[in-house]
Amino acid sequence: MTAKFELKKSRNDKFLFNLLARNGQIILSSEMYEAKASALNGIESVRKNAVDDKRYDSLNAKDGSPYFTLKATNGQIIGQSQMYSSAQSRDAGIESVKSNAPVAVLDDQT
């Protein structure tokens, strides 16, 4: 399986995408977008910014679970990971986004 961006339409007619690694695991999720074109721009922004270490923030949730966000050059969050069980797992997730996002294919499910 190849890495892919799954573009979906929510029940309330908004658009979102998930970046899936080659093993099918979701490694990054977007916010909700009003328009499909905006979601597609978000995917391109993830592709462009994924390789830049400075675009990642390594964070911890209130319960201590590690996760990360990916930001565009303007500082806006363009994707967030799921919660991880350890900082090492989170760091591996970042590496996965860096290697998968630039080559991921688009799977338009809208």
Pair 27, 59: CB distance under 8 Å: no
Residue 101, token pair as written in the block: 């996002």
Entry pTM = 0.93
Place of tokens 């350890």: 86
Give the class (CATH, top level) of 4-108.
mainly beta
Condensed to tens digits (0 to 9), the pLDDT of residues 38-70 reads: 999 999 999 999 999 999 999 999 999 999 999
E-state strands within the chain: 4-9, 15-20, 26-29, 56-60, 66-71, 77-80, 105-108
3-state secondary structure of 61: coil
| Chain segment 68-107, per-residue pLDDT in tens | 999 999 999 999 999 999 999 999 999 999 999 999 999 9
**pLDDT attached to residue 109:** 97
Domain boundaries, the chain: 4-108
